[in-house]
A and B are shown apart, each in its own frame.
Chain A
Amino acid sequence: MPRRRARIPAAVLLIAPSLVVMTALFAWPLVVGVGQAFSGPDGPTLAYARRMLDDPYFWPAVRNTALLIVVLIPVQFAFALTMALLLRERPRFAGFHFYVWVIPLAISDLAAGLVWLSVFADRGYLNSVLDHLGVDGVAWLSYQNTATMFLAVVVAELWRSTSLVLVIVVAGLQGIPKDYDEAAAVFGATYRQRLRHVVLPQLRPSLQVALILRTILALETFAVAQALTGRSLPLLVGETYQWYNVLQNPNVATAIALVVLAVSMLAAAGYLRLLRDRTVTQ
Chain B
Amino acid sequence: MSAVTVHNLVKTYASGGKRATDDVSLEVADGEFLVLVGPSGCGKTTLLRMVAGLETPDSGTVSIGGRDVTDLPARQRGLSMVFQSYAIFPHMKVRQNIGFGLMMRKVPKEEFDRRVKRAAELLQLGEFLDRYPAQLSGGQRQRVAVARAIVVDAAVLLMDEPLSNLDALLRLQFRAELKRIVSQIGTTTLYVTHDQAEAMSLGDRVAVMRDGKVAQIGAPLEVYDRPADRFVGGFLGSPPMNFLTATVRDGSLVIGDVSLPAPDLLSTWEGHEVVVGVRAENIQVSEEPAPGWVPAQVEVVEPTGAALLLTARLGEAQLKIQAPATFPAGPDQQVHLRPAPKALRFYDPSTGLALAVDQGLGGRVGRRVTP
Contact = CB atoms under 8 A, between A and B. Distances in A.
Chain A, interface size category, equals under 10
Contacts of A1: 59
A126 to B, nearest CB: 52
A4 interface: yes
B68 interface: yes
A2 B68 contact: yes
B61 A2 contact: yes
Nearest to A3: B71
A5 B61 CA distance: 13
B318 interface: no
Interface string A1-43: 1111100000000000000000000000000000000000000
Contact of A5 (B59, B68, B71): B71
Nearest to A2: B70
Contacts of B68: 2
Interface in B56-71: 56, 59, 61, 68, 70-71
Contacts of A4: 56, 71
A249 B56 CA distance: 59
Nearest to B59: A1
Contacts of A2: 61, 68, 70-71
Nearest to A7: B56
Nearest to B71: A5
A1 to B, nearest CB: 6
Nearest to B61: A2
Contacts of B59: 1
A1 B10 CA distance: 12
A2 B70 CA distance: 9
Contacts of A3: 71
B99 to A, nearest CB: 29
Nearest to B70: A2
B205 to A, nearest CB: 27
A1 B59 CA distance: 7
B32 to A, nearest CB: 25
Interface string B226-248: 00000000000000000000000
A4 B71 CA distance: 7
Interface string B268-298: 0000000000000000000000000000000
A53 B56 CA distance: 62
A1 B68 CA distance: 13
A4 B73 CA distance: 12
A41 B68 CA distance: 70
A1 B7 CA distance: 12
A2 B61 CA distance: 8
B256 to A, nearest CB: 49
Interface string A189-230: 000000000000000000000000000000000000000000
A8 to B, nearest CB: 12
A2 B56 CA distance: 12
A14 B118 CA distance: 42
A174 to B, nearest CB: 23
Interface string B30-74: 000000000000000000000000001001010000001011000
B21 to A, nearest CB: 16
A254 to B, nearest CB: 44
A218 to B, nearest CB: 41
A5 B53 CA distance: 12
A1 B71 CA distance: 12
Contacts of B56: 4-5
Interface in B147-191: none
A18 to B, nearest CB: 24
Nearest to A5: B71
A3 B71 CA distance: 8
A5 B71 CA distance: 6
Contacts of A5: 56, 71
A233 B70 CA distance: 71
B86 to A, nearest CB: 26
Nearest to B68: A2
Nearest to A1: B59
Interface string B4-31: 0000000000000000000000000000
A43 to B, nearest CB: 50
Nearest to B72: A5
A2 B68 CA distance: 10
Contacts of B70: 2
Given A2-B61, A5-B56, A5-B71, 7 more contacts: A1-B59, A2-B68, A2-B70, A2-B71, A3-B71, A4-B56, A4-B71
Interface of B: 56, 59, 61, 68, 70-71
6 contacts: A1-B59, A2-B70, A3-B71, A4-B56, A5-B56, A5-B71
Interface of A: 1-5
**CB-based closest 7 A-B pairs:** A5-B71, A2-B70, A1-B59, A2-B61, A4-B56, A2-B71, A5-B56
